[in-house]
Amino acid sequence: MSRLAENLVDIFKVVGNDEDLLRLTYYKDNPLDPNKSNVKDLPDFYEIRKERIIRAPKTDDISTKELCRICMYFGNGSNTSNERVDDQDIVIDVYTHIDTFELNEARSLKIIDKLNKLITFQHITGVGKIRSSRRYIIGNPPNGYIGYKVTYTFGSGK
């Protein structure tokens, strides 16, 4: 596997296996209620995660659904003063269905807060700790959705 692919898989493992993130993307009401089943314990866990946390900027299949989706993929990379390390951006898009998740709860912001706690200043992959760099509103999300793009940067060995 290539170095960059390994970096992406390492970050996906952290994001895709966090129970709070899974709950925030799956349950429509009171996602962090301890009386609700852990998403990892549900018989269709892998299908749930496959639809909600993906390693590509794919949204063409959600406009007829009401769900939350996290898309993670690599953005720009750039040279640093260290000849052995590049700065690599990882982009995480968060989409939430407005009528189902946003009107009463601002679910997208809760997901972003959890992502920041999981990723920022953590050594997950590559060289050093992951830094949070930018957050943007996505200008043209799928119909019925709000979207935010959050970019993190880490050192990726050459």
Structural domain spans, the chain:
3-157
pLDDT in tens, 21-68: 999 999 999 999 999 999 999 999 999 999 999 999 999 999 899 999
Cα separation, 75 vs 26, whole angstroms: 26
Query: Taking the CA atoms of the chain, what radius of gyration do you get in angstroms?
Result: 16
Contacts of 68 (CB under 8 A, 6+ apart): 24, 25, 26, 52, 94, 95, 96, 97, 101, 107, 108, 111
Cα separation, 157 vs 61, whole angstroms: 35
pTM for the whole structure: 0.92
Instruction: Give SS3 for 105.
Output: coil
> Residue 115 in contact with residue 21, Cβ under 8 Å?
yes
Cα separation, 90 vs 113, whole angstroms: 16
> Residue 93 in contact with residue 57, Cβ under 8 Å?
yes
Q: Phi and psi dihedrals of 111, rounded to 5?
A: -65, -45
Q: Report the pLDDT value the prediction gives residue 16, as an integer from 0 to 100.
A: 95
pLDDT band for 132, please (50, 70, 90 cuts).
confident
pLDDT band for 100, please (50, 70, 90 cuts).
very high
pLDDT at 78 over 90: no
CATH class of 3-157: alpha beta
> Residue 92 in contact with residue 70, Cβ under 8 Å?
yes
Most distant CA pair in the chain: distance in Å?
Answer: 51
Cα separation, 82 vs 114, whole angstroms: 31
